Amino acid sequence: MRVEVPESAGEAGVDDDAQHLASLGYSYDRQFKREMTFWGNVSLGFTYLSPVVAIYSLFALSLSVAGPPMFWSLVIVGVGQLLVATVFGEVVAAYPVAGGVYPWSRRLWGRKWGWMSGWVYLVALLTTIASVAYGAGPFLSTLIGVESTVDATVISGLVVIALATILNLGGTKVLNAVAMIGLLAELGGALVVGTWLLVTARHHDLSVLFNAFGAGEGNNYFVAFAAAGLIGIFQYYGFEACGDVAEEVPNPGRTIPKAMRMTIYIGGFAAMFVCLSLILAVPDFTAVISGADADPVGNILVSAFGPVGFKAVLAVVLVSFLSCVLSLQAATSRLAYSMARDGILPASTLLSTFSESRRVPPYALLLAGLVPALIVIGSKISSDALTVIISFAAMGMYMGFQMVVLASLRARLLGWKPNGAFQLGAWGIPVNIAALIWGVLGMVNMAWPRTPEDGWFANYVVLISAVTVVAIGLAYMAWKKPHLKGDAPAADAVPGTESTPALASATRRSL
């Protein structure tokens, strides 16, 4: 049932954050501990965003497609995602509820929109955990000196997932500490590696950032630059994780919007600094563009740091992968718990179980470990299936983002007046529209077919995976009507449109 705030709440010792949560329809009991500090919240978003993971994973591909100017995609995407983060900041200030995208969409638009956004985002998070854990395999194999086989990659991925799950089960304080360690290790490593490369291994000056060195010849260079820009698109998500743990942060209406922006500032700086240092350290751009140098990052690091130093860098990279999976799992578990708490997921009773000792949802955390582990193991059966599943990861993230952005714009136009501690005021609608346009362009870029010689399936796999996930969500929604379950408030942002429990019950009886 919906919870009303008792007039004596303040007298009973209930803090303002708990009162605000109760006013949004959630009880004082079974609460998370508000043990995540501002910098812990920033660290969660930063390690989820993980500039080292994105840059080291996609540097060679982006450089080969568009040459050194691919660096500017990090700037462009950073600005675009800052618009989205600003919109999210205003929404989370009004609705600081665990789960992020799902409860925001539910409150701004309604039950159906909330269910679909939660479903899409949950699948995206689960597949992203699998893709990051799987991507750690080659780095771990190189570090310990074994051949990077499929078996080694699968085992490495499972080890990373298991470690992250165990740490997450330790509770918010452990998550806060490990996320901060991850931030310090990753940011410190980025600064040390970048500075060392600029001082000892630089082969070029900044003018190369405006020279494609023949990349994209024979085609419109904008097309090549857009393809290379995927490095930025894959880089700048993670800031929303700051809002996924809204019930674990003191004064979330002020803290989380600031933490989201800080995540982009620090993450963007680290990504651009590492990317720039690597670009200037590449000895021969034509070799990378032609494919003769297929591993420019590895070759640069070995040359600059030597075998021992290279292993140290790999160790920092693996810490980045682990902390990234840790943050992704935390966000996934809070989303699953939030949906299950509202009764709209299969096995909601189990997934909404709350550990009173650890103050975390243990079965939601196990879901965030088991499903990605099964996806990683599935690569042994079919690498093509793994490609299809993982192809949805980034697209699903952007879809989840834009469902919130669109719902926010619709609510504004219908009369929603944000009432949180962070407000955009007169800039609300212009920023909202700009964020929506940016997000749609980003999704088009991800889904755009670029290699006709590889056949239709390879060219449209991202679009196919997105349509498949949405179709399954719609089919389940039509079959089981999960959006009508539970009595959590919905569509209450716009005056006079709240979907009340009584209305939901009446609707169910009429079906």
Residue 493, φ and ψ in degrees, nearest 5:
-70, -45
Helix 221-228 / helix 51-66 crossing angle, nearest 10 deg: 160
Closest CA to 272 of 237, 315, 236: 236
Cα separation values, 53 from 210, 332, 435, Å: 25, 19, 25
Residue 392: name the closest of 320, 473, 271 by CA: 473
- Tell me how far apart the alpha carbons of residues 27 and 445 are, in angstroms, rounded to a whole number: 43
Task: Please give the pLDDT value at position 378.
Answer: 85
Question: Distance between CA 365 and CA 347 in Å, rounded?
Answer: 14
pLDDT of residue 251: 93
Show me where the domains of the chain are located. Answer: 35-504
Instruction: Dump the DSSP string for 426-486.
Output: GGHHHHHHHHHHHHHHHHHHHH----GGG-HHHHHHHHHHHHHHHHHHHHHHHHH-GGGSS
> What is the C-alpha separation between 332 and 326, in angstroms, rounded?
10
Q: Tokens representing 13?
A: 């010792």
What burial class does residue 454 get, using C-beta atoms within 10 Å of its C-beta: 0-12 exposed, 13-18 middle, 19+ buried? exposed
Q: How far apart are CA 224 and CA 233, in angstroms?
A: 15
Residue (of 486, 349, 487, 344) closest to 2 by Cα position: 487
The CATH superfamily holding the domain 35-504 is Amino acid/polyamine transporter I (1.20.1740.10)
Instruction: Assess contact for 99 and 86: CB atoms under 8 A.
Output: no
Q: What tokens were used for 214?
A: 């023949």
CA 156 to chain CA mean position, Å? 22
**Cα-based angle 293, 294, 296 (whole degrees, multiple of 5):** 70
Among candidate residues 93, 428, 17, 399, the one with its CA nearest the CA of residue 259: 93
Instruction: For residue 156, give the H/E element and its range.
Output: helix 150-168
Residue 490's DSSP bridge partners are: 499
pLDDT in tens, the chain (511 residues): 334 433 433 333 347 787 878 777 776 555 788 889 999 999 999 988 888 888 888 899 899 999 999 999 999 999 999 999 999 999 999 999 989 899 999 999 999 999 999 999 999 999 999 999 998 888 888 888 888 888 888 999 999 999 999 999 999 889 999 999 999 998 998 999 999 999 999 999 999 999 999 887 767 788 889 888 888 888 888 899 999 999 999 999 999 999 999 999 999 999 999 999 999 999 999 999 998 998 899 899 999 999 889 999 889 889 889 999 999 999 999 999 999 999 999 999 999 998 888 889 999 999 999 999 999 998 877 666 666 677 788 899 999 999 999 999 999 999 999 988 999 999 999 999 999 999 999 999 989 888 777 788 888 889 999 999 999 999 999 999 999 988 888 899 988 776 654 444 433 333 3
pLDDT at 498: 66
Contacts of 244 (CB under 8 A, 6+ apart): 98, 99, 100, 330, 331, 334, 335
pTM: 0.89
What is residue 30's predicted lDDT score, i.e. its pLDDT? 57
Give strand pairing partners of 499: 490
